[in-house]
Amino acid sequence: MRLSRNEQIAHVGIYIILILLALAFLIPFIIVLSTSFISEAEFARRGGYVLFPEGIDLSAYQILFGRSPVILNAYGVTVFRVVVGTFMNLIFTVTLAYVLAQKALPGRIPLTIFVFITMVFSGGLIPRFLLVDALGMRNTVWSMIVPTLINAWNMLIMRNFFMSIPEELTEAAIVDGATPPLILLRIILPLSLPVIATIGLFYAVFHWNAWFDAAIYIDHADQQPLQIILRGLLQSTSMQGLEELSFTENPPPAASLRSALIIVSTVPVLFVYPFIQRYFVKGIMIGGVKG
């Protein structure tokens, strides 16, 4: 279909706006990436953050991956937290959502309201800290996983998704002798891949970016996640105070090291997102069909 002149102008204007918006998001990331490759000499000459480096210097990445056990250990703690934490989040969220989605469950509405109340009111930081300490989870990775096993909002989204699945499927399975756990594993979960992928992404990104709980519960440096190290670097204006990273003879500038750590902590999420992006919108839309 041939477009009119006004429609063509409108399309060109839309494309220009989208290109400008894309650049507004990409340029800061490119600047951080370029700054991670600059040397101390180039930083002293050009200063600040650069859009295009004059040369490629890998000193910052060599410190992060080759010379510093602190970063590698923090990376391992973060990966463990993301993988194990997300897996446990999904197990507990799926089981609770499946139970609350059963219309024959006595007290289903009061239980759902009780879960909803936790979204509005919480016990507070001090009671939560005392509870974690009393359970003996301080200075362990479990202090960052167990207190956040179920997010009420994510659970309600998954519950609504389960309620949108036709009841005839589960009724037919019951007639054939299937038990509730078997129905969940063989029928509900295969039909729920969009919402599981979406909620899994929410949990994984939360665990990857979280630092506050580690700052409260973890005192030992060898058990701190990557985001704590990144926070310390971002708050430091120089290499001073970063003795565990600055023992090399020719250290890179602090800006280069901070930029390299930002790239290292950002790229994994950027690689994971495209694989589940197709489930993202579908999971949220279907999860909001029923109340």
- Three-class SS of residue 107? coil
- For residue 216, report the phi and psi dihedrals to the nearest 5 degrees: -85, -45
CATH number, span 67-287? 1.10.3720.10
Per-residue pLDDT tens digits for 224-253: 888 887 777 666 544 444 445 544 556 677
- Residue spans of the domains in the chain: they are 67-287
pTM of the model: 0.76
Q: Cα–Cα distance between 94 and 153 in angstroms, integer? A: 13
- For residue 289, report the phi and psi dihedrals to the nearest 5 degrees: -70, -45
Per-residue pLDDT tens digits for 178-228: 888 888 888 888 888 888 888 888 898 899 888 888 889 988 878 888 888
- Under a CB-based contact definition with an 8 Å cutoff, are residues 206 and 198 in contact? no
pLDDT > 70 in the chain, percent = 85
Q: Cα–Cα distance between 141 and 39 in angstroms, integer? A: 36
